[in-house]
Amino acid sequence: MASLRLDRFIGNTTGLSRSHVHRAIRRGEVSVDGVAASDAGLQVSPSARVEFQGRTLTAFESRYFMLNKPIGFVCSTEDPTHRTVLQLLDVLNPAKLHIAGRLDVDATGLVLITDDGEWSHRVTSPRHQIAKIYRVTLNEPLSDIAIAALQTGIQLKGEPRPCQPAAIERVENNQARVTITEGKYHQVKRMFAAVGNSVTTLHREQIGELMLDPVLASGAYRSLTSEEISYF
Ligand code: URA
C-alpha cells in the first residue's frame, strides 16, 4: 500500500476535519513511530505507528459514526431535492460511507454511518433482530386498546404477516417509547396509523445497546468507540 500524508492518514482513520487535524499536530498531539510530528505533509507508510492524542491509529481502518439527525435531511448517499445526512460530516471521502438503518426525512435522532458493509449488515439484517427504540409524539392520546394491539403484533396494510410484537411504554398521554426489532418501510408511522392514530414526531434514541450520545446536538456527530463498534 502506498504511503499517505500524515494529515490524510489521521483524517481517514478518525473522521476529523483537516483543520481539526492540523490544530492537533500544531499542539503536539501527534507522533509517528514515537517521534512528535510537526509536519502535516509528512509521508507516512501504512506500517508506521501513528499516535493521536495518546491513541494508536491503524492505517485505513473502517470508519464508524453516530449522528443526531435533524429534520429535513435524507438518509441516502445522494438526493435530487434534499440535503443528505452525509453532507453533515466533515470527513474525507464521504462518498465511501453509507447509512446503517435509515430514518425518514421528518424523523430525528440516532443514525449510524460507516464504510464497513459487514458491520452495517449486522445492524440492519432482519435475521439479527436488533431492537430499535423510538420516542414518538402522537396526534391523539394513546389508548390501552391500541397499546394491547401493538404489543400483540399489528397487521400493516400490504404486508403478508403481522408485525412482531412491539414494546410500548406510555411516556405521556400522547407520547410513547416504542421498541421494534424489524425495519419495515415507515414501520412506526404505519403501526400507529393501523390503530387509528398518527405520529407527529419520531426520534430514534437507541439501536441495540447503542444509545444516542446526549452531548450530540442536532446535526452533530462523533466516531464510535471500539466498545460501541463491538456491539454489532
Ligand atoms: N419508522 C418510521 O415510520 N420512520 C422511521 O424513520 C423509522 C421507523
Cα–Cα dist 44/36, whole Å: 13
* Domain CATH code at residue 171: 3.30.70.1560
Nearest Cα residue to atom 7 of ligand 1 = 103
Tell me which of 33, 39, 79, 104 is the catalytic residue.
104
My answer on whether 121 and 215 are in the same domain is: yes
My answer on whether 16 and 73 are in the same domain is: no
My answer on whether 181 and 168 are in the same domain is: yes
Cell of 144: 390501552
For residue 193, give the amino acid letter: A
pTM of the model: 0.78
The b-or-e profile of 82-112 (16+ CB within 10 A means b, else e) is eebbbebbebbebeebbbbbbbbbebbbbbb
My answer on whether 184 and 70 are in the same domain is: no
How many A from CA of 116 to the centre of ligand 1? 23
Choosing from 73, 99, 104 the residue with most ligand 1 atoms within 8 A of its CB, the one to mutate for a pocket test is 104
My answer on whether 122 and 219 are in the same domain is: yes
Give the SS3 label for residue 38: coil
My answer on whether 160 and 93 are in the same domain is: no
My answer on whether 100 and 214 are in the same domain is: yes
My answer on whether 83 and 40 are in the same domain is: no
Provide the pLDDT for residue 59.
Answer: 66
Average pLDDT score over residue span 37-50: 88
Q: Specify whether 33 is catalytic.
A: no
Choosing from 108, 186, 195 the residue with most ligand 1 atoms within 8 A of its CB, the one to mutate for a pocket test is 186
pLDDT tens profile 90-147: 887 788 899 999 999 999 999 999 999 999 999 999 899 999 999 999 999 999 999 9
My answer on whether 117 and 214 are in the same domain is: yes
- Residue 1's pLDDT band (boundaries 50, 70, 90)? low
Cα–Cα dist 27/136, whole Å: 44
Cα–Cα dist 216/204, whole Å: 13
CB of 104 closer than 6 angstroms to any ligand 1 atom: yes
Structural domain boundaries, residue 9: 4-56
CB of 107 closer than 6 angstroms to any ligand 1 atom: yes
* Domain CATH code at residue 120: 3.30.70.580
Reply yes or no on whether the pLDDT at 74 is more than 90: yes
Number of domains in the chain: 3
CB of 224 closer than 6 angstroms to any ligand 1 atom: no
Which stretches does DSSP call E strand in the chain? 4-5, 30-32, 35-36, 43-44, 50-52, 55-57, 64-69, 73-74, 83-84, 98-99, 108-114, 132-138, 167-172, 175-180, 199-207, 210-211, 221-223
Last residue within a domain, chosen from 31, 56, 81: 56
My answer on whether 92 and 144 are in the same domain is: no
11 or 86, higher pLDDT: 86
What are the angstrom distances between the C-alpha of 68 and each of 72, 107, 110, 179? 12, 10, 5, 19
Give the SS3 label for residue 62: coil
My answer on whether 46 and 76 are in the same domain is: no
175 or 77, higher pLDDT: 175
The b-or-e profile of 205-214 (16+ CB within 10 A means b, else e) is bbbbebebee
CB of 110 closer than 6 angstroms to any ligand 1 atom: no
My answer on whether 70 and 167 are in the same domain is: no
Give the SS3 label for residue 123: helix
Number of the ligand 1 atom closest to the C-alpha atom of 102: 6
Number of the ligand 1 atom closest to the C-alpha atom of 190: 3
Question: What is the percent of the chain where pLDDT is above 90?
Answer: 80
